Amino acid sequence: MRYLPLSETNRRDMLGAIGAASVDELFRDLPKAALAQARFNLPDTASEMEVERALGVMAAKNLNCGAAPAFLGAGNYRHHTPAAMDYIIQRGEFLTAYTPYQPEISQGTLQAIFEFQTQVALITGMEVANASMYDGATACAEAVAMAARVTKRNAALVSGGVHPHYRDVTATTMKFLDVAVDCLAPDPTGIEDLIGRVTSEHACVVVQTPGFFGHLKDHSALAEACHKAGALLVVCVTEPVALGLITPPGRIGADIVVGEGQSLAGPMSFGGPGVGLFATRERFLRQMPGRLCGETTDEDGRRGWVLTLSTREQHIRREKATSNICTNSGLIALAFTTHMTLLGEAGFTRLAQLNHAMAVTLAEKIEKLPGVRVLPSAFFNEFAAMLPKPAAGVVEALAKRGILGGVPASRFYPTYPELANLLLLTATETNTAADIETLVGALKEVLS
């Protein structure tokens, strides 16, 4: 029997109080096409066993990246997950993603968050980091909002090398904060001129490293141009493993570094869950969104942890808050921290080296195929390759051969016909030399 706590009278009273004629009117801002798609043809009731059987049949139609050579990436990456990580995050005292509202009695949770912040600050080369971001895309939006508060400007310039999801989420969020976001056209060649576009009206410039199409760039000159114009440089990182090998963004002049921790926190899982990374300079600490855990001592001199910074307005006066994030993705942050701790500094660097070496091997073999051109001259574990035919069709043909052969750029940019032949390919430590040979052989057949 369904549990419906509200009577029709309750519903009418609530609608009358907010001035809405019906429940449907509450959803009037949603496109009608989206609402139509949300109506699923599902049975009203089914037993647990029936549901499991039906879902199992549906799941079997998917080609699992763990059961096939997989070269997927585009912001969501597959790495080996240590068994110890799963064990630790499933312990009862950790198995929650919620915010510690009585933090002092949650010392274990606070210590884990403190360690997470420390690790993020170290790998990004920044001075402080928080632990309250949902994912990389919303962290990017928060960074732009923070830059607008710091500079008291209302315009942002976003590179064409930034992940389209980050661009879209940022543009949507800033629309309601009256911040104009100028998103440049996708930049598969890596030749866009950002320095020439920075003006004294910009609150920030947003770039990504490695870029969405794989390019690795030195943004130090751009950082200088931003600072000269009074703007901040925001650097996005969708693949944190890259920070084990490349120069940390903080060392090239970044003011805010944001990113996605998914690749070190768990499996790809159809895109989530994720955990946002957010780090900045200490002088901007008071404008940083979310929460900050700090170290202290109690009255007996014992080491402990507290919420050093947590704006109460986030809970009671939301219109005055620096951010409306009200949870902290704590469980995924713990998974990230556990994996990083198990790796250690040397292991983290070694993991990055393995990823880069595997990707170089893949690129060298792919580029020998007729009509194929690898675009970035410098990359980490992902790169874009221009094919002699549309990439979407190639990916489908490879899937029929039991290979997950990358992500077509057209999936993100369907209105750019010049990107139709562009394929994003990723290689990590989970790939083998045999996987690469299998892909290259199948790709040669599909392209012929």
User: What's the CATH number where 361 sits?
Assistant: 3.90.1150.10
pLDDT at 441 over 50: yes
> Do 402 and 275 belong together in one domain?
no
Same domain, 272 and 179: yes
In a domain, 51, yes or no: no
Give the residue-averaged pLDDT of 157-178: 96
Compute CA distances 438 → 29, 85, 310, 341, whole Å. 48, 31, 51, 34
Given a cut of 50, whether residue 1 has pLDDT beyond it is no
Q: Measured between alpha carbons, how far is 25 from 142 in angstroms, rounded to an integer? A: 30
What is the three-class DSSP state of 207? strand
* Token pair recorded at residue 344: 């250690």
Given 3-state DSSP classes, what are the helix, strand and coil percentages for the chain, each rounded to the nearest 5? Answer: 45, 15, 40
| Mean pLDDT in residue range 117-142 | 95
- Do residues 182 and 330 both lie within one domain? yes
- Residue 8 falls inside a structural domain: no
Is residue 66 assigned to a domain?
A: no
Question: What CATH number has the domain bearing residue 127?
Answer: 3.40.640.10
CA pair distance 138, 260, nearest whole angstrom: 10
First to last CA, the chain: 59
Phi, psi of 296 (to 5 degrees): -150, -170
Percent of the chain scored above 70 by pLDDT? Answer: 94
Alpha helices by DSSP H, listed for 19-90, are 32-37, 48-59, 83-89
For residue 386, tell me if it sits in a domain: yes
pLDDT at 251 over 70: yes
Closest alpha carbon to 211 in 119, 388, 75: 75
Task: Give the predicted TM-score (pTM) of the model.
Answer: 0.89
39 located within any domain: no
Both 318 and 371 in one domain: the answer is no
Task: Tell me: pLDDT of 121 over 70.
Answer: yes
Instruction: Looking at the structure, tell me whether residues 329 and 290 fall in a common domain.
Output: yes
Which of 306, 340, 374 is the C-terminal boundary of a domain?
340
Specify if 116 maps to a domain. Answer: yes
Specify whether 324 is located in the same domain as 411. Answer: no
Token digits for 61?
């139609």
Domain holding 390, by residue range, is: 345-447
Q: What is the mean pLDDT of the chain?
A: 92
Confidence label for 307 from pLDDT (cuts 50, 70 and 90): confident
Q: Is residue 124 part of a domain?
A: yes
State the virtual CA torsion across 158, 321, 94, 128 in degrees, nearest 10. 60
- Out of 284, 306, 340, pick the residue that ends a domain: 340
Q: Say what the pLDDT of residue 321 is.
A: 72
Examine the fold and report which residue of 340, 363, 396 is the final residue of a domain before the chain moves on.
340
The reply to whether 28 falls in a domain is: no
Over residues 310-339, mean pLDDT: 74
Regarding whether 213 and 319 lie in a shared domain, the answer is yes
Give yes or no: residues 355 and 243 share one domain: no
- The tens digit of pLDDT for each residue in 59-101 reads 999 888 888 999 999 999 999 999 999 999 888 777 765 666 6
Which of 24-28, 109-113, 169-173, 320-324 is the least confident region? 320-324
Same domain, 353 and 271: no
Overall domain count for the chain: 2
How far are the Cα atoms of 48, 113, 158, 164, 385 from residue 186, in angstroms, in the given order?
46, 36, 10, 8, 15
**Count of residues making up the chain:** 448
Whether residue 360 sits in one domain with residue 275: no
**Does 139 lie in the same domain as 204?**
yes
Asked if residue 365 and residue 334 are part of one domain, the reply reads no
Give the mean model confidence (pLDDT) for residues 376-380.
Answer: 97
- DSSP assignment of 308-371 equals EEE-THHHH-GGG-S-------HHHHHHHHHHHHHHHHHHHHHHHHHHHHHHHHHHHHHTTSTT
